[in-house]
């Protein structure tokens, strides 16, 4: 992950130094490669069930890491900026247990859940009045479309994805940027968003064999995934 982050910075600097004419045209553009942390994600296990208890059944995954890229364009001296952002995030948690019953027998097995997401988000930023030289604090908000996947590992089996449905959501953000040099800054941002998508996946079979006895379960998983934790980003702002 960090190797990809460094590579983005190197390629961006090469592009900046190779085309001075483009720098003049795009002087209000800023590129921000970042490393990101997401505090949590939630999987709604049966979102289409008619049973209210099953429909509200959820599991929460612990946090995960990723990397991303933000493009910001300044609208002159208005203090407003337009932003376009995308990232890759992966969260994997192996702390779940699946319980299967057959007549009076019960078995339990370890379950690992993995979710991945790639969003495309647009935002409007507003810079607050500057109180410290070189330090900009900003607020913002916007929306996005969220693409993703879910994979479950259980009893030596792995689900395969049959369909994915992206969904739209909204976000708010707050952050700060400190100008180190004229064309280089340290960037921090926190996003709170309503990000979700749907996934239909299936196991290769509908039973587990234990001591020669089959234990059956539903192999089809229709789920709704919410990447609803706080996103923290630390990046380097490169100005044209």
**Is the predicted pLDDT of residue 230 greater than 80, yes or no?**
yes
Length reported for the chain: 240
The pLDDT assigned to 219 comes to 94
**Is the predicted pLDDT of residue 61 greater than 60, yes or no?**
yes
The pLDDT assigned to 104 comes to 82
**Is the predicted pLDDT of residue 2 greater than 70, yes or no?**
no
- Of residues 46 and 182, more confidently modeled: 46
Token pair listed for 57: 């059944």
Pairwise CA distance, residues 7 & 17, whole Å: 16
Residue 201 · residue 150 · CB < 8 Å: yes
**Is the predicted pLDDT of residue 13 greater than 80, yes or no?**
no
pLDDT band at 181 (very low <50, low <70, confident <90, very high): confident
Token pair listed for 202: 């299936």
Dihedral sign for Cα atoms in the order 85, 90, 91, 97: positive
**Is the predicted pLDDT of residue 17 greater than 80, yes or no?**
no
The pLDDT assigned to 27 comes to 74
The pLDDT assigned to 239 comes to 83
What element of type H or E holds 13? helix 2-18
Token pair listed for 214: 């089959």
Dihedral sign for Cα atoms in the order 85, 90, 93, 96: positive
Q: Lowest mean pLDDT: which of 50-59, 70-79, 206-215, 230-239?
A: 70-79
Q: Span 49-62, mean pLDDT?
A: 89
Name which CATH class applies to 2-239.
Answer: mainly beta
Strand boundaries in 56-183, DSSP class E: 58-61, 64-74, 80-102, 105-127, 135-154, 157-158, 160-181
The pLDDT assigned to 25 comes to 55
Q: Span 160-166, mean pLDDT?
A: 96
Token pair listed for 99: 């319980």
In the chain, % of residues over pLDDT 70? 88
**Is the predicted pLDDT of residue 78 greater than 80, yes or no?**
no
Token pair listed for 24: 């003049």
Nearest alpha carbon to residue 226 among 203, 202, 200, 199: 199
In the chain, % of residues over pLDDT 90? 60
Q: How many CA atoms lie within 13 A of 225 on its CB side?
A: 28
The pLDDT assigned to 54 comes to 85
What element of type H or E holds 47? none
**Is the predicted pLDDT of residue 26 greater than 90, yes or no?**
no
pLDDT band at 20 (very low <50, low <70, confident <90, very high): very low
Look over the chain and give the mean of its residue pLDDT values, rounded to a whole number.
87
Nearest alpha carbon to residue 222 among 46, 60, 59: 46
| Dmax (CA) of the chain | 76
Q: Look up residue 186 and give its DSSP letter.
A: E
What element of type H or E holds 227? none
pLDDT band at 70 (very low <50, low <70, confident <90, very high): very high
Q: How many CA atoms lie within 13 A of 179 on its CB side?
A: 12
How does pLDDT run across 85-141, given as a tens digit for each residue?
Answer: 999 999 999 989 988 988 888 889 999 999 999 999 999 999 888 888 889 999 999
């Amino acid at each position: 992950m960090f190797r990809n982050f460094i590579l983005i910075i190197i390629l961006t600097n090469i592009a900046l130094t190779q085309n001075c004419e483009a720098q003049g045209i795009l002087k209000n553009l800023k590129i921000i490669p970042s490393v990101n942390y997401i505090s949590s994600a939630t999987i709604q296990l049966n979102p289409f069930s008619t049973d209210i208890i099953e429909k509200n059944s959820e599991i929460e995954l612990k946090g995960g890491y990723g990397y991303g890229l933000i493009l910001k364009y300044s609208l002159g001296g208005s203090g407003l900026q337009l932003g376009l952002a995308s990232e890759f995030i992966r969260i994997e948690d192996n702390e779940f247990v699946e319980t299967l019953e057959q007549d009076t027998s019960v078995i339990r097995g370890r379950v690992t859940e993995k979710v991945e997401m790639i969003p495309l988000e647009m935002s409007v930023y507003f810079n607050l009045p500057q109180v410290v030289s070189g330090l900009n604090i900003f607020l913002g908000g916007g929306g996005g479309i969220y693409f993703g996947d879910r994979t479950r590992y259980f009893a030596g089996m792995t689900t395969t994805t049959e369909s994915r449905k992206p969904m739209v959501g909204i976000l708010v953000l707050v952050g700060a940027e400190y100008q180190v040099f004229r064309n280089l800054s340290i960037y921090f941002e926190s996003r709170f968003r309503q990000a979700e998508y749907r996934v239909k996946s299936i196991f290769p079979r509908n039973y587990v064999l234990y001591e020669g006895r089959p234990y059956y379960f539903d192999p089809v998983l229709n789920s709704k995934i919410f990447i609803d934790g706080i996103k923290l980003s630390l990046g380097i702002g490169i100005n044209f």
